[in-house]
Structure 1
Amino acid sequence: MISGFDRRRNVADEIFADEVGIAYGIYGEFRLRSLYQPIFAPRGAALAAVAVEALVEPHLAGRPSSAQAFFDQIPAGDRLFVEAMCRALHLRNYSNIGVEGLDLFFNFNPLINDHPGRALAEIRLMGRHLADFGLSAGMLVCEVTEQAADDALLLKLVHEMRRDGIRIAIDDFGAGHSTEERVSLLSPDIVKIDGAWFSELCRHAAAEKFFRPLVSTLHDRGAKVLVEGIEHPAHLRVALEGGVDLLQGFHLARPKLAGTIFNENPLAIEALLEPVGLEPAGKVIQLHQRR
């Protein structure tokens, strides 16, 4: 267990830059680094990168370690601080992706950010500094994670972000608390289909038949549909035939550390649909913890 943090410290005091200008955070013995995973949109016969999702990779003694294990051992009183540090890192490192104009997806956990005044203050502070990092509010997409949360608080936070121009995505639809009721409550701009749920759906012969009406229903509600966890050609085929707007997953591109050369070339759909060995025997499980 990581020992408790001094509550009087500011996030900015724990963020530094390496010799080439890549920002990293310090928490206890860990050095936190930004990862970005591309998100693609169909463009004719190709997939074009249109956004990235910001993730974090903890390093211990100079080596990457499990993000899930890292977050699981953070004391409850420090979790808001660490979440805020991760968001600050991702904003600062955005310019180190090396590609202009990509939207930036970031996560917001309503169970950790559960104090209305504090959460609203954090959102407003973030908005004031976006220009410093080459970002505008219209380029940001806040992913509301699937945990249960007070509906009144969620509505207030979503209203505040939308007022500033930030778009809203419901994460992991089909799992946990990301349901049609949550879609009706928040009227999100984007709905992210849970990767494990989608992988299980793709195991059925008539997957496209069942998936297409869901995508159509979400479109009718004014939301774009993003499928995460695209790990195999079969996943991509079902998603594309279902008419989704955005795609993300290891079969398309893995997360890369800030400062890594970003491949701007569109991906040929025909090549991605070619079989690459045996299809998975079970569910696809996410290999990283999003923050």
Structure 2
Amino acid sequence: WSAYQPIFAPEGSVLRAVAVEGLIEPRRIAQPVASSIFFGGVPASDRLFVETLCRMLHLGNYRNIGVEGLTLFFNYNPNVNDHLGRALAEIRLMTRHLGDFDLEPGLLVCEITEQAADDHVLASLVREMRRDGIRIAIDDFGTGHSTEARIDLLAPDIVKIDGAWFGELCRHAAAERFFRPLVATLHDRGAKVLVEGIENAQHLRVALEGGVDLLQGFHLARPALAGTIFEEEPLSIGALLDAGNKVVPLHQHR
């Protein structure tokens, strides 16, 4: 099943939903299954098909969010298809069908995940997507191959800080002092900074004091299935900082 988790931008005293990330909630015999288990069980010969199908589900269900102008983040695992010709054909097929989904390329952000990849193939794919108007994000920065070297290679529009890494950082008393220079360095490289895994008020506080541009996590809003009513009202930063570990609901089910 296709689900979307809101991504927020700070605007004065509130957080406003400006984007969503497309996620998959797998089911087996009508029961939820962890994504890692589901994708881990997909045979290697089928992985490209499954990844492409998931991406097309996110694009096709975007209109069911019912809010115009939201940016759509989608994942791209560079390890699934490392053949340049096939990878380019896959991207061109996707962009060719955007009109069928009432989507403009400028609303899309491709998250390059942290897996290893051939640098030449990856750089060629990024050039192709940029030519079509799709923005690029590096996912899970701080883990795997989502490193400064990959930032140098791809010059991403957005760097997404890994939630687990950020959560560990927030356990330290001087978290803000260490985090702020990292955000400033990424800004100097021309990238916006998105922090995922905002799960409590402390995470939110460190992220905001660090000067990040975008925020995502359970403390702000949980993923909701396509077709769920999307509440557009902004969230009060003060209320979220006072909420401890309470989740502020953003969605209601039809």
Settle same-fold status: TM greater than 0.5.
Answer: yes
From 116, 128, 147, the counterpart of 1:148: 116
Query: Which residue is equivalent to 2:13?
Result: 45
Pairing 1:82–2:50 present = yes
Q: Which amino acid aligns with 1:235?
A: H
The answer to which of 119-128 and 228-237 deviates more is 119-128
From 59, 67, 91, the counterpart of 1:123: 91
TM-score by length of 1: 0.83
Q: How does 1:62-141 map to 2 (within 5 A)?
A: 62-141=30-109
Counterpart CA distance in 1 for 2:73 and 2:62 is 11
Q: Which runs of 4+ in 1 moved over 4 A?
A: none
Query: Which residue is equivalent to 1:173?
Result: 141
Query: Which residue is equivalent to 1:194?
Result: 162
List runs of 5+ in structure 1 lacking aligned partners.
Answer: 1-32, 279-291
Shift of 1:47: 0.3
Contact map agreement 2:59 2:101 (CA 8 A) in 1: yes
Pairing 1:224–2:195 present = no
Counterpart CA distance in 2 for 1:183 and 1:39 is 22
Q: Which amino acid aligns with 1:115?
A: H
From 227, 231, 235, the counterpart of 2:203: 235
SS in 2 for 1:100: coil
Query: Which residue is equivalent to 1:184?
Result: 152
Query: Which residue is equivalent to 1:55?
Result: 23
Pairing 1:272–2:240 present = yes
Q: Which amino acid aligns with 1:74?
A: V
Shift of 1:276: 2.2
Shift of 1:58: 1.1
Counterpart CA distance in 2 for 1:275 and 1:138 is 35
Contact map agreement 2:199 2:245 (CA 8 A) in 1: no
Counterpart CA distance in 1 for 2:159 and 2:58 is 22
Shift of 1:62: 2.0
Shift of 1:277: 5.4
Highest Rg: 1 or 2? 1
- Distance 1:267-1:78 versus aligned 2 partners, 3 A rule: same
How many equivalent pairs are there? 246
SS in 2 for 1:271: helix
Give the alignment's Cα RMSD to 1 decimal.
Answer: 1.1
Percent identical residues:
74
List runs of 5+ in structure 2 lacking aligned partners.
Answer: 247-254
TM-score by length of 2: 0.95
